[in-house]
Amino acid sequence: MAFLDWVLHPTELWAAFWYVMRHAPPDEKTVKLQVSGDMKRCYDFLEMTSRSFAAVIQELNPKLRDGICLFYLILRGLDTIEDDMTIPGAKKRDLLESFHKIIYQDGWSFKESGPDEKDALLLVEFEVVVSEFKRLPTEFQDIIADITKRMGSGMAKYTRSRVESLDDYNEYCHFVAGLVGHGLSRLFSESGLEDSSVGENLELANSMGLFLQKTNITRDINEDVIDGRCFWPKAIWAQYADNEEMLISKNNRDNGMKALNEMCANALSHIPDVIEYLGSIHEPSVFRFCAIPQTMAVATIALCYNNSRVLDTNVKIRKGEALKLIAASTDPDSVKRIFYTYLEMIEDKNSPDCSTFEEVRKIVDKTKKDIASTLKGGPPVDFTKEYLVIILFFVSLFTFIYQYNSSRP
> Burial code of 259-282, b = ≥16 C-beta within 10 A, e = fewer?
bbbbbbbbbbbbbbbbbebbebbe
- Annotated catalytic residue, options 172, 188, 277, 340: 172
245 SS3 class = helix
Cα–Cα distance list, 164 to 14, 202, 222, 269 (Å): 45, 25, 19, 20
Give Dmax (Cα) for the chain: 83
* Residue 219: active-site member: yes
User: For residue 110, is it left (φ>0), alpha (ψ between -120 and 50) or beta?
Assistant: beta
64 in Cβ contact with 124 (< 8 Å): no
* Residue 229: active-site member: yes
Helix (H) or strand (E) holding 53: helix 51-58
Within 103-178, where are the H helices?
120-124, 127-133, 138-160, 166-173
- Annotated catalytic residue, options 76, 219, 288, 337: 219
* Total residue count of the chain as it appears in this document: 409
* Residue 51: active-site member: no
Cα–Cα distance list, 361 to 178, 240, 298, 347 (Å): 26, 22, 16, 7
- Annotated catalytic residue, options 53, 289, 305, 342: 289
- Annotated catalytic residue, options 19, 150, 158, 229: 229
Distance CA 77, CA 123 (A): 6
Other beta carbons within 10 angstroms of residue 386's beta carbon come to 10
Residues serving a catalytic function are 172, 219, 229, 289
